[in-house]
Chains A and B, each alone.
Chain A
Amino acid sequence: MDEILQEFLTESGENLDHVERDLVALEESPDSRQLMAAIFRNIHTIKGSSGFLGLSKLESVAHAGENLLSSLRDGKLALNAEITTVLLTLVDALRRMLQHLEAKGAETDEDFSALVAELKRLNNPDAAPADAAPAEKAPAAEKTEAPAKGETASATEEKGAPAASAPEKKPETSTAKPAAQPEATKSAPARQGRESAPQEPPPPPSLTTETNVRVSVGLLDKLMNLVGELVLARNQILQITGGVDDTQMVAASQRLNHVTTELQEEVMKTRLQPIGNVFTKFPRVVRDVARELGKKVRLELEGKDTELDRTILEAIKDPLTHIVRNAVDHGIELPEVRRESGKNEEGHLLMKAFHEGGQVIIEISDDGKGINAEKVKQKAIDNGLITADQAARMADRDAFQLIFHPGLSTAEKVTNISGRGVGMDVVKTNIEKIGGTVEINSELGKGTTLRIKIPLTLAIIPAIMVESGSQRFAIPQVNLQELVRLDGEEVKTSIETILGTPVYRLRGRLLPLVRLSEVLDLPERDDDQSLNIVVVQAENRHFGLVVDRVFDTQEIVVKPLGDHLKSVAAFAGATIMGDGRVALILDVIGIAEKARISSKIADVAAEDAVETRAAVSGDRRRLLVFGMGDSNRAAIDLSTVGRLEKLPRSMVEHAGNREVVQYRDDVMDLLRLEDVLGYPPTHDDDELLHVVVYTVNGKNLGLVVGRILDIVEEEVRIQGGQRGNGIIGRAVIQGRVTEMLDVDGIVRQFDPEFAGHN
C-alpha cells in the first residue's frame, strides 16, 4: 500500500495546489463553471481516494467540501467571499492532514468538526432560522468566529508537530486564517445588522475551549460604544473635580480615570486582530501571481502579531492585495533578468507591520527593478499632468508620488495581475478613507518600498481641540502636521497676501492659510495680537488652518453625524467633550475642498500637475505680471514664484562676472531677465530692484524684472508667436498683450550653473 499512499500524497498535494489556485482565480471570474468544475473534481478525487485508503477523517472533511462544491457547481449556491474563504480553509486543513499523514503515517488527531460544520452550514443556508437579510447576516458573521477561537486553540497543539513533520510548511497554512477572512468580510453587514439582529445567534458548531469564549461582533461593538460613553462621562467628572478641593473626591475621580483608561484599552483590544489574519492571504497571492508570470518570489512576513481594529483590517485588505500584486507584477523582474543584473533569481518581497507612535505602519518592500522616476515623469507629461519644466524641477521622490495620481495609474498598462480596474489612486483613496497615508519610495534597480501609516482604531482617535468663533472643534491627529503661533508684529509682517489669499512662509514654502471661521461662517474674532495656525495635511495638500485657540490633544470618541449633517463636507463626525458639549470633528479634506485650497496654491507636484493641465486648456491661471522695458508686459506662473522682493539697487554687489545681493544670510545670484531675454532696459527712477525670488531646493536665484505690476487670476489663452527661448507665447492679460515666460526654462538656459545645483 505504501506506493499507493505515496502516490496519493503527491497527487492530493497537487490537487490542493490546483484548488487553491482555481479558487483564487475564481475570485476574479466568479462565473467560470470550468474552474468550479475543476475545483470540485479535485476535492472529489481526494475524497474518493482517501475512502479507498481508509483515511476516514480525510474522507469526511473532503466529503463535506465536496458537497458544498457540488451545490456551487450546480448553481444551487452562489460563490461569495465567505464561501471562498472557508474553501481555502478547507484546502489548508486537507493539506495539514496530508502533511501529518506523510510525517506520521497516520491520520491526524486534529479536530476538524468546526470546519465540517461550517461547510455544511454554508451548503444549507436555508437552515438558518431567520430569513430577514440583516438578521441572517449578523449571526453568520458571529458564527464564523467559532472556528477562529477553536483554531487558535488548536494552533498551539499543532505547532510542535509540523516543525518536524512538515519542513516546508508554508505560512499560508497558518491556522489563524479561518478567523480573519470570514470575519472581516462580514464585519460591515454585522454592524449594520446590529440593531435589528437577534443578539443571540443560533447555536454554533461547538468548539469552545476553556480559555476562549465566542462573543458576537455586535456585542463587541456595543461594548465599544458603552466604553465610549464611559470615557465621556469620565472626562466630565475629571473636569468637575478639577475645580474641587475635596481630596477624597479627587482621588476617586483619579481612580475612575485610570480604570476607565484601562477598560477602554482592553475593550479596544477585543476588537483588535493580528494583521497576520490578512497577511496569511498573501503567500497564496504572491505565489499565484508569480507562477502566472513565471517569476520567482519569496515572501517574507514580519510583525504578523501587530494588532489592528477589525474594521481597519478589513479596509486595508484590498489595498494591500493590490500593492502586493503590483509589486510582483511590476516590481520584481523575471528570473533571467534578475540573474543578468546580478541579483538572486528569486525576488524578495517583505511585508512588515509594526506599531509606531500609536499608529500602525505597514511596509511593503521588494528588491525588484524599482521605479524609473524619469519614465514616470515622461508618462505624466504625456498624459498632460505636468509640464516638461515641472518634471525637470521635480524631485524623484515627488515623481514617485505621481503614481498615485488617477490620471497616471489608470493609464498604467493593464495586465491580468494588477490591472484589475483598480489603480494605485484607488489604493491611496482607500487608505486615506480610514485616516491613513501612503508613501512610496524607490531606488532604480534596487527596489521599491511602500509605507502605509494607519490608525489603530477608528472608534477612538487622538485629536487636537481648537476653538474658532467660540465653538470647539476636533482635528484628527493624523491630519496634524504642526502648530505655528505668531505673536505681535509677526502677525502683520509674516503673512503675505497673494491674490487675496493669505499665505505664510513656513520654512521656505508657501502655506496657504484658511480661516476656519471664514470657511464655517463663524463670527470673526477681533484680535490682531496673535495668530494660531494649525498646519494640516490632507491628500498631499498642506495648508494652515487659522483658529482662535488651540487646546490639548485628547482621545476623542468618534460619533457619527446625523443624516442632516452628513452632507456637510467639512465635518467627519462629532464627539462629546468633558464638559458635555459637543464638538464637531473637522474633515480636513472637506475643508480643503470647501476653501478651494487646491486651486489656490499648488505647492505639491500633483497639485502642480492639475494646475498645468487646467492652464493648458485655457483655464484660470494665476500669474505675476510685470513690466519689462518701458512698454512690454510679461507674466509668469505664480506657482514658480518663491517670493517677491524690492531690493535697493545699492545692495547689488559683484562676484566674478555675476551680480549678487546679500539676501537672508546668503548670497543670491541675480539674473536680469530684460538682458537675457532681449527686452529693452526699463528706465525707472525707482531706487528699488524688483526681484522675483526663484527657489529650488532651498537655493535662491533673484530674477530681476522691470517692475512688478500685479498678480492676476485670469482665463489665459496662450497664443503662439514664440519669440525665443524662455518665452512660451503671448496672451491677453488685463486687456493687454503680455508675454508668457517660462521661468524654469529661462533658468536652465541662462543660468545652467544654478539649475545644475539641483
Chain B
Amino acid sequence: MKALVVDDSKTTRMIIGRILRECGFEIHEAGNGQEALDKLEEIGCPEIALVDWNMPEMTGIEFVKAAREDSRYDDMKIMMVTTESEVEQVQAALEAGANEYAMKPFTKDVIEEKLALLGVSVG
C-alpha cells in the first residue's frame, strides 16, 4: 500500500509519513505539486495522497486538478491537509477532485477514521 505525502515542509512529511507508516503504508514524499506529479510517474497510482495546500511551484489545489485530469490516477484518494485558516477553501478542493480533508495537526486516529470513510483499508 502506497501513500504519497506532498508537503513543502520536510518536517511535516516526516510526521505525516510516520503516522501513515504506522497505518501500514509505504511512504513516498514530494515537496510540491510538480514533484508529486513526477513521483506519481515513478511509483504509479498510490492508494492515497495527502496533499498540503500551500506549496511553492505548484500548490496543492493545482496538483489535485492536474492529477484528476489523468485517468491513471482515478483510483487515488486525495486527502487535503489543511489548517483552520484554509477551511473556506476546502470546498474548492473538494470540487477540484479531492476526496477528503484533514486539519493539521492530526493524530493517527483521525487519519484512520478518514481513511475508513474513504474506503481505504488500513492494515
Interface-located stretch among B7-15, B34-42, B92-100? B7-15
Q: How far is the CB of B80 from chain A (nearest CB, A)?
A: 13
**Chain B residues with CB under 8 A of A162:** none
> Judging by beta carbons under 8 Å apart, are B83 and A47 in contact?
yes
Residues of chain A within 8 A (CB-CB) of B85 are 44, 66-67, 70
What's the nearest-Cβ distance from chain A to residue B106, in Å?
8
**Beta-carbon contact of A51 and B104 below 8 Å:** yes
A4:B9 contact, CB within 8 angstroms: no
A52 and B8 form a contact (CB under 8 A): no
Q: Is the CB of A45 within 8 A of B12?
A: yes
Contact residue among A4, A40, A51 (Cβ-Cβ distance under 8 Å from B105): A51
Assembled-state Cα–Cα distance A67/B18 (Å): 28
Contact B10 A40 (CB under 8 A): no
Contact of B18 among A4, A11, A38, A51 (CB under 8 A): A4
Within 8 A of A (CB), among B92-123: 104-106
Known contacts: A4-B15, A11-B11, A49-B12. The answer to whether A41 contacts B56 by CB under 8 A is yes
- Shortest CB-to-CB span from A16 to chain B, Å, is 13
The winner among B8, B105, B106 for most chain A CB atoms within 10 A is B105
Residues of B within 8 A of A168 (CB): none
A53, CB-defined interface residue at 8 Å: yes
A3 touches B14 (CB 8 A): yes
CB neighbours (8 Å) of A40 from chain B are: 54
Interface: B58 (CB within 8 A) = no
Q: Is there an interface contact between A48 and B104, defined as CB atoms closer than 8 Å?
A: yes
Whether the pair A4, B56 counts as a contact (CB closer than 8 A) is no
A52 and B83 contact, CB distance less than 8 A:
no
Measured in the bound complex, the distance between the Cα atoms of B14 and A529 in whole Å is 92
Which A residues are in CB contact (< 8 Å) with B106?
52
What's the Cα separation between A295 and B15 when bound, in Å?
Answer: 37
Chain B: number of interface residues, binned into ranges: 10 to 19
B55 at the interface (CB under 8 A from A): yes
Are B12 and A48 interface neighbours, CB within 8 A?
yes
CB contacts under 8 Å to A, within B19-54, are 54
User: Whole-angstrom distance between the alpha carbons of A44 and B105 in the complex?
Assistant: 12
Q: Is the CB of A4 within 8 A of B11?
A: yes
| Residues of the B chain whose Cβ atoms lie less than 8 Å from the Cβ of A4 | 11, 14-15, 18
List residues 26-61 of chain A with CB under 8 A from any CB of chain B: 38, 40-41, 44-45, 47-49, 51-54
Q: Is the CB of B56 within 8 A of A48?
A: no
Q: How far is the CB of A6 from chain B (nearest CB, A)?
A: 9
Chain B residues, CB < 8 A from A41 = 8, 54-56
Residues of chain A with a CB closer than 8 A to B15's CB:
4, 49, 52-53
Interchain CA distance A11-B12 in the complex, whole Å: 10
Contact B83 A11 (CB under 8 A): no
Contact partners of A54 in chain B: CB under 8 A: 105
Q: Which residues on the A side are within 8 Å of B14 (C-beta)?
A: 3-4, 7
A8 at the interface (CB under 8 A from B): yes
Distance A3 CA – B15 CA, assembled complex (angstroms)? 10
How near does chain A come to B37, taking the closest CB pair, in angstroms? 19
Pair A8/B83 contact, Cβ less than 8 Å: no
- Determine the distance from Cα of A67 to Cα of B15 in the docked complex, in whole angstroms: 23
Chain B, residue nearest A51 (CB): B105
> Which residues on the A side are within 8 Å of B16 (C-beta)?
52
Q: Name A46's closest neighbour in chain B (CB-CB).
A: B9
Distance (Å) between the CB of B54 and the closest chain A CB? Answer: 5
8 Å CB contact of A45 from B9, B18, B105: B9
Give the residues in chain B near A8, CB-CB below 8 Å: 11
Contacts of A45 in B (CB 8 A): 8-9, 11-12, 54
Contact across chains for A7 and B11 when beta carbons are under 8 A apart: yes
Roughly how many angstroms separate A483 CA and B63 CA in the complex, as a whole number?
78
**7 residue pairs from A and B, CB less than 8 Å apart:** A11-B10, A44-B85, A48-B83, A49-B9, A49-B15, A51-B104, A52-B16
Interface residue ranges, B against A (CB under 8 Å): 8-12, 14-16, 18, 54-56, 83, 85, 104-106
- Known A-B contacts: A4-B18, A52-B105, A53-B15. Give 20 more (CB < 8 A): A3-B14, A4-B11, A7-B10, A7-B14, A11-B9, A11-B11, A44-B54, A44-B83, A44-B85, A45-B11, A45-B12, A45-B54, A48-B105, A49-B11, A49-B12, A51-B105, A52-B11, A53-B11, A54-B105, A70-B85
Nearest first, the 4 A-B pairs at minimum CB distance are: A51-B105, A52-B105, A8-B11, A45-B9
